[in-house]
Homo-oligomer: A and B are copies of this chain.
Amino acid sequence: MAELTHLDSEGEAHMVDVGDKPVTRREASAASDVIMDVSTLALLRAGNAAKGDVFAVARIAGIQAAKRTAELIPLCHPLPLDRIDVEVTACDELPGVRIVARCAVAGRTGVEMEALTAAAVAALTVYDMLKAVDRDMTIAATRLLTKRGGRSGDYRRENAPA
């Protein structure tokens, strides 16, 4: 099990010691899509035209969730994030809402989980605000887009936006 860094030689979970890693700039971006009926998307757009609170609430929920990643994901390190940015966009081609989250830190470990958590919670928030009209929505493809910094090298998902 040597490859699964969160498990020790006996297969027991622990929070990996990162004390010997250098503090460097780490960045990550992740996305999540809420797929919905075209009529739900139309309703959302109509609401957005007036006030935009669905989008604003989802953005804030995502930002706040990124800060709580270490409380939610048991083996994540607590990290004093330098940046959190969550974009929430209506997309006809889904049809639905696409969320893209970006996080950065100067730290000893990466922020992939922070970006993924922000995207996933923003998506859950969109679901919550629209579920009265459409319970069939699906949160599809919560995924890492990019990762920069750290010993394990950079990462870019195939077909991720530049």
How far in angstroms is the closest Cβ of chain B from A124?
6
A126-144: CB near B (< 8 Å → 1, else 0) gives 0111111101111111111
In contact, A73 and B121 (Cβ under 8 angstroms): yes
Considering only residues 10-45 of chain A, those with a C-beta below 8 Å from chain B are: 10-19, 25, 32, 43-44
Interface residues of chain A, those whose CB is within 8 Å of chain B, are 1, 3-7, 10-19, 25, 32, 43-44, 46-47, 50-57, 59-61, 63-65, 67-68, 70-87, 104-108, 112-113, 116-117, 120-121, 123-125, 127-133, 135-144, 147, 152, 155, 157-158
Nearest 9 Cβ contacts at the A-B interface: A11-B51, A17-B83, A56-B56, A139-B142, A19-B82, A15-B84, A11-B50, A13-B53, A14-B85
